[in-house]
A and B are shown apart, each in its own frame.
Chain A
Amino acid sequence: MLSRLVFVSGSALKGSGPIGAGLVHASRSLHTSSQSQAPVPALSEKGGKVRHGIIPEELFQLLYPKTGVTGPYMLGTGLLLYMLSKEIYVINHETFAAASITAVIIYGVKKFGPSVAAFADKLNEDKVAKAQEVKDLAMTSLAQAIEDEKKEQWRAEGRSMLFDAKRNNVAMLLETNYRERLHMVTNEVKRRLDYQIALQNLHRQMEQDHMVNWVEKSVISSITPQQEKESIAKCITDLKALAKATQAKAAV
């Protein structure tokens, strides 16, 4: 906050005539930072260093060369005793009230200070964690997208194999179809030829039967009754002779 005062007062003083310029030059020895605004000055992480919670460390550094380590403490004690003894500060009821409120404040700061600071830090950390989570989620989803893309590319490479397999399929189908038709044609031709053969067979069979019938008919009609009687008498004498021979065989 004090650096802000320096900025504002510096720019105000520079414009205010000879006194302003002189003051600016004189105060230049007190500057601790480079006083430029163009790259925005970085925020300090921690506040200014203090001793005993309220006295800036710079006072101790200022007095150290002349009065050593105990210098500021002597200054403080001296000032206090001076004000008390000369009754510049009068002890009255407000002193007691001041003592009690100081005690309450110191107790409060010592007891609750670290937890409040941790709470404030946690608020900031939660903010950062949320943003980090969004970023991480985005990164993982993008990495996943890269993986998926690579897989798709690998799949695309295999498409020639797919085409070959399809081509084979189609060729097989065509072949099968051709063979089926061939088979069918063969069958049809065979049927036609079988029919012709059967027809010829039938013809021959009928001719043969007819001829046999005719021959039988003619033979039967050629046999005269005379011949029929002679043949029957011969048959009977043959049979008798045979019977005799058989009986003779059987008796022996």
Chain B
Amino acid sequence: MTLSFFDQFMSPTLLGIPLIALALTLPWVLFPKPSSRWLNNRVLTLQSWFINGFAQQIFQPINQGGHKWAALLTSLMIFLITLNMLGLLPYTFTPTTQLSMNMAFAVPLWLATVIIGMRNQPTHALAHLLPEGTPTPLIPILIMIETISLFIRPLALGVRLTANLTAGHLLIQLIATAALVLLPLMPTVAILTGALLLMLTLLEVAVAMIQAYVFVLLLSLYLQENV
């Protein structure tokens, strides 16, 4: 079975049955359910520690009204980081490489923050369109620029995640192919390429975690502005 470079980005199917639902929901079994015991095993302790620490950190600068989003953003973070990290395994499908899915996360959440801001404190929300201390002649242009930047936000969120992960996966594929092809021809260069592949894999691990974190962080920032 020969793989082309873009097979990993195709939605997985088995004999015509789409498996995308499984790909999205199966990572859930990796996380233990919080038990009613007072002292738990190591996995559950670490999971609880991570979730609590993350929620505290993200929601510290946001005032009380935004804390309703805690469950949503924390579970989003865990979902994204799991999908990203599992996608680094061979022969796996990474749902977060699909622009459709990332836009499906970015646009509604961003829109929700904007609508909340416009509804509850419209003056304050609109005031974000004009940074402090701009000289008077620049005001009209700056407002237009800020509006454009406001509407670009969901696009940026979605595309950032997609592009980072897709690029990373493609690079891994390409460099692995290079190593494979060079192995019979120039073994030394192949070994160097192998070392490069190792570094790249480390980078991809970091990128996977960072991109998920950045996605959620930016959403929390948009929330902070508007709540």
Contact = CB atoms under 8 A, between A and B. Distances in A.
- Does chain A bind chain B? yes
Interface in A1-16: 1
Interface band, chain B: 20 to 34
A97 B90 contact: yes
A101 B39 contact: no
B179 A121 contact: no
Contacts of B46: 116, 119-120, 123
Contacts, number: 72
B176 A97 contact: yes
Contacts of B90: 94-95, 97-98, 101
Contacts of A127: 38-39
A117 interface: yes
Given A96-B180, A101-B89, A90 B45 contact: no
Contacts of A117: 42
Nearest to B183: A96
A93 B3 contact: yes
Nearest to B90: A98
B176 A93 contact: yes
A101 B88 contact: yes
Interface string B38-53: 1111100110010000
B1 A90 contact: yes
A241 to B, nearest CB: 148
B104 interface: no
Contacts of A90: 1-2
A237 B32 CA distance: 164
A95 B40 CA distance: 38
Contacts of A94: 3, 90-91, 173, 176
A235 interface: no
B198 A103 contact: yes
A132 to B, nearest CB: 12
B205 A104 contact: yes
A93 B198 contact: no
Nearest to A90: B1
A92 B181 CA distance: 9
B49 A96 contact: no
Contact of A96 (B2, B45, B179): B179
A43 interface: yes
B201 A123 contact: no
Interface band, chain A: 20 to 34
Contacts of B194: 96, 100
Interface class of chain A by DSSP: helix
A124 interface: yes
B172 interface: yes
B39 A100 contact: no
B177 interface: yes
Contacts of A93: 3, 173, 176-177, 179-180
A128 interface: yes
B202 interface: yes
A92 B3 contact: yes
A43 B176 CA distance: 44
Nearest to B89: A101
A92 B88 contact: no
B197 interface: yes
A96 B194 CA distance: 8
A95 B45 contact: no
Contacts of A95: 90, 176, 180
Nearest to A91: B180
A120 B45 contact: yes
Contacts of B205: 104
Contact of B202 (A1, A92, A104, A124): A104
A43 B44 CA distance: 13
18 contacts: A43-B41, A90-B1, A91-B180, A93-B177, A96-B179, A96-B197, A97-B173, A97-B176, A97-B201, A98-B91, A100-B197, A100-B198, A101-B88, A104-B198, A104-B201, A120-B45, A121-B42, A127-B38
8 closest A-B pairs by CB = A98-B90, A96-B176, A93-B176, A120-B42, A93-B177, A97-B176, A100-B201, A120-B45
Interface of B: 1-3, 32, 37-42, 45-46, 49, 88-91, 172-173, 176-177, 179-180, 194, 197-198, 200-202, 205
